[in-house]
Amino acid sequence: MLIGRSVTAAALLALTTAACGTQPGGERTAPSQSPPPSAGAQPASGSSAEARPACAQPAEAPAVPPSATASASASPPAGPDGRPEQHGDGAPHYAENHAYRMQASLTPEKRAWGAASAKLVRAELEKVREAGGAGEDGAFPEERVAAALARLGCGEEHGVHISDGFCGLHTGTVCVSGRVTRDELTTGVHGAYAEPQPGTGPCVENRGGH
């Protein structure tokens, strides 16, 4: 009888321990609605490795669509026309010579948050375009573009860079780049560059060479 009571007590103790940390009814705590951690690249040093505060965040967490694992990998650097560069198998040391142009990889979750941020950025740039006042080259004054991004809480601490209609910033999760001129309005989402253009932000491609 003593042995039987000991076994019963042990079983009750095990059940009690397993129940700890579980909400009544077996419910689990809802996932966080905050954006994922920064997707900046991770070089030994440089601005793209720094954690940045959030800006241009949607009011509600975006839906993350199902995606293949391959979509979370880093994309090859794009050429001047925006298409991935083709370098073939015969280019020796291509990867190491162009490592400075590599972008941080984006998970489907980070890409979803980036797309939501890009939508907000595009809306502000559209206001700049609709107001008119472009210069002779078709670009709008940098001050106006900066003011548009500031309305989304994006400033110097977010690596904002504006030049000749181009703008780039880090939302704290991803890079959002865009171009607004009299005849053009585009936005895009990508990871921070391993070695961005010196004197700019983490979202500006380095046009130099190694």
The span from the CA of 152 to the CA of 63, in Å, is 21
Residue 89: the pLDDT is 46
* More confident site: 9 or 28: 9
**Any domain includes 2:** no
Dig out the tokens for 165 from the structure. Answer: 């209609």
H or E element in which residue 120 lies: helix 108-131
Residue pair 39/174 in contact (Cβ under 8 Å)? The answer is yes
Dig out the tokens for 150 from the structure. Answer: 């500031």
Residue pair 206/197 in contact (Cβ under 8 Å)? The answer is yes
Total number of domains constituting the chain: 1
Contacts 24+ apart (CB under 8 A), 146-151: 148/124, 149/56, 149/121, 149/124, 151/124
**Any domain includes 164:** yes
Highest mean pLDDT among 43-57, 81-95, 150-164: 150-164
Residue 209: the pLDDT is 57
**What SS3 state is found at 100?**
helix
Q: Which domain holds residue 145?
A: 34-58+98-210
**Any domain includes 75:** no
**Any domain includes 74:** no
Triad 71, 188, 202: Cα angle to 5°: 90
**pLDDT score of 204 more than 60:** yes
**Any domain includes 26:** no
Triad 95, 118, 59: Cα angle to 5°: 130
Name the pTM for this structure: 0.68
Number of Cβ within 10 Å of residue 104's Cβ equals 22
23-76: pLDDT as tens digits: 444 433 334 477 776 644 433 334 454 689 999 999 999 999 875 444 444 444
- The region of weakest confidence among 26-35, 105-114, 180-189 is 26-35
